[in-house]
């Protein structure tokens, strides 16, 4: 069974390893060049693993480009696996494999089609989710289901813990379906499009903490966008501060303002939120710096967040400068 694998994240790695395990190594790994790594917050350099298994590597920043299509056609794949790749496959690419193009989605399709699904699953406060292998079509996550697995989402789930659950689910789904594909017995189960829902694209700026929200809302955001994603963002004075780990504390005997540091404890830094309840910040990081215990970075009574007054002053100075006054 001739396969070509397109992707550039950990789920791509899992797919490559399972294909090798089943003695169906990809004829090529198609992945992003390192200089384009910023397109995926969870980018993984898969070239060393491909070289370890003597799998040829094709680097591309556009999987629909004519030159790339010619390279893939020359490999004459039966199956094209698109796993961990943010670009939509156009018809010309989908028509390259002799049998089919297949994809993976970290949700129980038709629910939560689209982008940033793992963060959105946590932000939705979902108690269950799923992972789906599906036959790619010209829509967005709309093709027939090849196999699907559902599992629980805990009340304390983080992006990393949920991400790892999806990697394990992908492993199991591939183990189940590769023999079926090899024997031409793989199922195709149409999605019920009436049940479809969609997740919107997220950017790093969407991780900005609004300390006027409830403590539970703040804690949920921190969990949803933590590693391997860009992280929750706030400001300590003029410094951008990433919040990587936190606990929900709730009530505490302090009175202050939303975003204000109320206590420094051995376990972390207690910050008040808009409902007068609290989160305990454990791990933080200044922009482009290593993560550190919050107690090493923050000071008592500091007020986190954007200071509207300071922003207004900066805006006035910027406008004056650009007017030449």
Contact indicator for 300, 263 with CB cutoff of 8 Å: yes
Are 30 and 174 within one domain? Answer: yes
Looking at the fold, whether 34 and 115 belong to one and the same domain comes out as yes
In a domain, 324, yes or no: no
> 64 with 110, same domain?
yes
Question: Tell me: the pLDDT tens digits for 161-205?
Answer: 999 999 999 999 999 999 999 999 999 999 999 999 999 999 999
Is residue 209 assigned to a domain?
yes
Could you tell me if residue 319 is inside a domain?
no
Listed in sequence order, the residues at least 6 apart from 219 whose beta carbon sits closer than 8 Å to its beta carbon are 246, 247, 248, 279
Indicate if 185 and 99 belong to the same structural domain: yes
Say if residue 20 is in the same domain as residue 133. yes
pLDDT band at 325 (very low <50, low <70, confident <90, very high): very low
The CATH number of residue 216's host domain is 3.10.25.10
Helices (H) and strands (E) in the chain, counts: 8, 15
Q: How many CA atoms lie within 13 A of 276 on its CB side?
A: 3
Angstrom distances, CA of residue 10 to CA of 84, 113, 282: 7, 20, 26
Residues 105 and 218 in one domain: no
From 164, 182, 199, the end of a domain falls on: 199
Same domain for 173 and 227, yes or no, is: no
Return the residue matching tokens 């933080």: 284
For residues 51 and 185, state if they share a domain. yes
Last residue of a domain, which of 177, 199, 221?
A: 199
Rounded to an integer, what distance in angstroms lies between the CA atom of residue 158 and that of residue 32? 27
d(C-alpha 211, C-alpha 217), whole Å: 9
pLDDT tier for residue 288 given thresholds of 50, 70 and 90 = confident
Q: How confident is the model at residue 289 (pLDDT cuts 50, 70, 90)?
A: confident
Domain count, the chain: 2
Q: What is the pLDDT of residue 306?
A: 80
Asked if the bond preceding 110 is cis, omega within 30° of 0, the reply is yes
Same domain, 187 and 122: yes
Counting residues of the chain whose pLDDT is more than 70, the rounded percentage is 94
Q: Is 282 helix (H, G, I), strand (E, B) or coil?
A: strand
Please say if the pLDDT value at position 318 is more than 50.
Answer: no
Give dist(CA 139, CA 195) in Å, integer. 15
pLDDT tens, position by position, 231-279: 999 999 999 999 999 999 989 999 999 999 999 999 999 999 999 999 9
Domain boundary among 146, 167, 199: 199
**Same domain, yes or no: 44 and 168:** yes
Provide the pLDDT for residue 323: 54
Q: Alpha carbon of 213 to those of 159, 219, 240: distances in Å? A: 20, 10, 19
Whether 56 maps to a domain, the answer reads yes
Q: What is the mean pLDDT of the chain?
A: 93
pTM for the whole structure: 0.91
pLDDT tens digits, residue range 70-124? Answer: 999 999 999 999 999 989 999 999 999 999 999 999 999 999 999 999 999 999 9
With a pLDDT cut of 90, the percent of the chain lying above it is 89
- Cβ neighbours of residue 178 under 8 Å, at least 6 residues apart? 1, 18, 19, 22, 24
Q: How far is CA 201 from the centre of its chain?
A: 10
Beta bridge partners of 147: 133
CA dist 113 and 106 (Å) reads 9
* Judgement on whether residues 164 and 208 belong to the same structural domain of the protein: no
pLDDT attached to residue 308 = 57
pLDDT of amino acid 307: 67
In a domain, 29, yes or no: yes
Position 317 scores a pLDDT of 47
- Please say if the pLDDT value at position 322 is more than 70: no
The whole-number pLDDT of residue 38 equals: 87
Could you tell me if residue 325 is inside a domain?
no
209 and 180 in a single domain? The answer is no
Residue 125 forms part of a structural domain? yes
Kindly tell me if the per-residue pLDDT of 146 is higher than 70.
yes
Residue 300 has pLDDT above 50, yes or no: yes
In a domain, 255, yes or no: yes
Q: Kindly tell me the sign of the dihedral angle through the C-alpha atoms of 246, 274, 272, 232.
A: positive
pLDDT at 313 over 70: no
Q: How confident is the model at residue 209 (pLDDT cuts 50, 70, 90)?
A: very high
Instruction: Give the domain range for residue 247.
Output: 204-310
> Rounded distance, CA 62 to CA 316, Å?
42
The enclosing domain of 109 has a CATH number of 3.40.50.170
pLDDT of residue 284: 97
């Amino acid at each position: 069974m001739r396969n070509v694998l397109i992707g550039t994240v950990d789920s791509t790695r899992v797919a490559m390893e399972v294909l090798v395990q089943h003695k169906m190594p990809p004829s090529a790994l198609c992945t992003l060049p390192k200089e384009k790594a910023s397109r995926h917050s969870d980018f993984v350099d898969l070239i060393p693993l491909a070289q370890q298994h003597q799998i040829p590597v094709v680097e591309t920043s556009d999987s629909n480009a004519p030159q790339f299509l010619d390279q893939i056609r020359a490999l004459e794949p039966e199956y094209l696996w698109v796993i961990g790749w943010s670009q939509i496959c156009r018809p010309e690419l989908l028509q390259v494999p002799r049998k089919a193009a297949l994809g993976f989605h970290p949700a129980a399709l038709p629910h939560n089609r689209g982008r940033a699904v793992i963060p959105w699953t946590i932000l939705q406060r979902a108690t269950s989710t799923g992972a789906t292998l599906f036959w790619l079509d010209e829509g967005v996550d709309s093709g027939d289901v090849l196999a699907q697995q559902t599992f629980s989402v805990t009340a304390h789930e983080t992006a990393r813990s949920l991400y790892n659950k999806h990697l394990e689910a992908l492993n199991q789904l591939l183990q189940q379906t590769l023999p079926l594909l090899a024997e031409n017995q793989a199922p195709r189960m149409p999605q019920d499009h009436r049940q479809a829902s969609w997740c919107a694209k997220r950017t790093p700026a969407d991780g900005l903490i609004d300390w006027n929200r409830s403590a539970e809302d703040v804690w949920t955001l921190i969990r949803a966008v933590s590693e391997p994603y860009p992280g929750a963002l706030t400001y300590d004075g003029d410094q951008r501060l990433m919040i990587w780990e936190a606990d929900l504390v709730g009530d505490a005997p302090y009175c202050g303002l939303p975003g204000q540091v109320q206590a420094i404890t051995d376990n972390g830094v207690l910050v008040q939120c808009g409902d007068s309840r609290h989160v305990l910040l454990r791990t933080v990081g200044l922009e482009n710096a290593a993560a550190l215990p919050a107690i090493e970075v923050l000071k008592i009574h500091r007020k986190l967040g954007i200071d509207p007054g300071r922003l207004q002053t900066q805006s006035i100075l910027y406008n004056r400068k650009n007017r030449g006054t």
